Structure 1
Amino acid sequence: MLNADGRRRFFPAGWETSLLFGEEVTPIGSPALMNDARPPLSPDQIAQMRRLHLQGGGGRWFTWADWTKAHGVEDNPGARPQAQDLSFGNYQLILQAVMQGQGVALGWSPLVDDGLRAGWIVRLTEQRLTSERGYVIAVPARRNPVGRQFRAWVLAERDRSQMSNA
């Protein structure tokens, strides 16, 4: 996670951190769930669908409430959790439920990018939500050539993947 000033937190002094990916989410669903609807859907349409929620987090990741508020749906009854909504304690279970057409979820890039490319899931809209948070790799700074080599390899793979997907 990143602080607003760009300094890394959660790691003790003496650790080197590198940002892998910034946090970016967009609503996703199964192609089968769409029936006659064709993306892009409006935020109001998405708010009326069965939404899959990731439990916990305590502000560490985006929720549907964050997404609907950011896209002007807070006054819509669909902005609040609804009886048909489902909650999960594991993001992989949410992705499985999305692919099985059980509802729509917030999809974190790059975690869902392979599924989007393969057509297992679709973006419901291009309206995204971003933050200053993100995914980092951290290694102890002192005399840790293996850690530095591993970090360099991970960053190179990230860059190679981004270039091949561009």
Structure 2
Amino acid sequence: MSKSAVRLPPLDAVRGFVAVGRRMSVTLAAEDLFLTQSAVSRKLRTLEDYLGVELLERGHRSISLTPAGEHFFRVAEQSISQIEAAVAYLGRQKTRAGVTITASIGVSGLWLLPRLGRLQGELPGIDVRVEANNALLDLRAAGIDLAIRYCSGRDAPPGALRLFGECTVPVAHPSLAVDRVDAETLPALTLLEFGDPGRPWLQWSEQLHAASLDRDAPRRVVHFNQYDQVIQAAIAGQGVALGRRALVEPMLADGRLKALAWRGPAASTEHAYWLVQAESEPAAEVIAIRDWILTEARHYNEQDP
């Protein structure tokens, strides 16, 4: 059967599934889509009936992706993100203004958004649009001016500017009353994990092994498919997360999280955060935002222990 002959599921149903997968919550997905929970649930059932597989495991008060759901979400989320970016780009062509920055959902929520108030205060004459997207968008095709990419140096695009490296540390809300992760405390801890096996430095199993703690089992491990969900769960006091120091620094500074002592490695990857610009000779407002981001990164690097 040719690719053109494959019958695709309804786009609206796929979009509903992607919204649920991003938030791991029907309630929050319904808010994002401005629909009722029952309407989102119907879209999920429509998609599952169409594909003939279960995409979600439905618990009493929680949902999780099945193996089939994980596979379909990875493909569908990137496709929906590309469509959303293209639609947004076409809309901006009518009244294009300001500077558009793209970054992953985690980097946007944890690094960019906490700094937007300061950016607007220092550069009040420039409108800024944040495109939170895990897909690697074609910057020019999507009408995006700047991107923050997470990759190794050899995979960084030509001309990319290094912002900061990756450094991890266990973090938890102060209400948990725990100050370290070791053989004594681990059996009582709930560990919060980012479900991306392609990044072992963010996996508790790998880090516990490196710290010679793999003989001791934690109380439980809770998995999330978005990194910002991991950190929000930690802020809510639900367990201990592997904090990416550059991203959780604002939470450490204001006391929403605290760093825990342990013997694990602080960094075990060549991956870093890079700033990429779409044009070799960008407009003046893009240069201003670019330089502001570089200054923020430099301030972090100067205080990084």
Q: Which band: TM-score by shorter chain?
A: 0.7 to 0.9
Q: Secondary structure at the match of 2:298?
A: helix
Find out whether 1:154 has 2:293 as its counterpart.
Answer: yes
Larger radius of gyration: 2
**Would you tell me which structure has more strand in proportion to its own residues?**
1
Contact 2:167 2:245 in 1 (8 A): yes
**Residue 216 of structure 2: which of 59, 68, 77 is its match?**
77
Query: Which one-letter code corresponds to 1:63 in the other structure?
Result: Q
Find out whether 1:110 has 2:267 as its counterpart.
Answer: no
User: Which structure 2 segments of 5+ residues have no match?
Assistant: 1-150
Contact 1:139 1:148 in 2 (8 A): no
Query: Which one-letter code corresponds to 1:52 in the other structure?
Result: L
Find out whether 1:90 has 2:230 as its counterpart.
Answer: no
Structure 1 residues 116 and 126, CA gap change in structure 2 (3 angstroms): farther
RMSD: 2.7
Q: Normalization by structure 2: what TM-score?
A: 0.44
**Residue 64 of structure 1: which of 194, 204, 218 is its match?**
204
In the alignment, the residues of structure 1 paired with residue 295 and residue 196 of structure 2 have an alpha-carbon distance, to the nearest angstrom, of 33
Q: Secondary structure at the match of 2:167?
A: strand
In the alignment, the residues of structure 1 paired with residue 213 and residue 200 of structure 2 have an alpha-carbon distance, to the nearest angstrom, of 22
Structure 1 residues 61 and 140, CA gap change in structure 2 (3 angstroms): farther
* 2:167 paired residue number: 24
Q: Secondary structure at the match of 2:230?
A: helix
How many Å apart are 1:21 and its aligned residue?
Answer: 1.1
How many Å apart are 1:165 and its aligned residue?
Answer: 8.0
Q: Secondary structure at the match of 2:202?
A: coil
Contact 2:172 2:235 in 1 (8 A): yes
Quote the sequence identity (%).
23
* 2:191 paired residue number: 51
Runs of 4 or more consecutive aligned structure 1 residues displaced over 4 Å after TM superposition: 145-149, 161-166
How many Å apart are 1:144 and its aligned residue?
Answer: 3.3
In the alignment, the residues of structure 2 paired with residue 83 and residue 126 of structure 1 have an alpha-carbon distance, to the nearest angstrom, of 17
Query: Which one-letter code corresponds to 1:47 in the other structure?
Result: L
Q: Secondary structure at the match of 2:220?
A: coil
Query: Which one-letter code corresponds to 1:54 in the other structure?
Result: F
* 1:129 paired residue number: 266
Contact 2:246 2:300 in 1 (8 A): no
Query: Which one-letter code corresponds to 1:20 in the other structure?
Result: L
- How many residues matched? 151
How many Å apart are 1:31 and its aligned residue?
Answer: 0.8
Contact 1:47 1:68 in 2 (8 A): no
Measured against aligned partners, the alpha-carbon deviations of 1:72-114 in whole angstroms (never above 9, x if no partner) come to 113x132xxx673211112222222112211111000111111
Query: Which one-letter code corresponds to 1:122 in the other structure?
Result: K
Contact 2:164 2:301 in 1 (8 A): no
Measured against aligned partners, the alpha-carbon deviations of 1:10-40 in whole angstroms (never above 9, x if no partner) come to 53xxx31111111000111111111xx4x2x
Q: Secondary structure at the match of 1:120?
A: coil
User: Which structure 1 segments of 5+ residues have no match?
Assistant: none
Structure 1 residues 63 and 123, CA gap change in structure 2 (3 angstroms): same
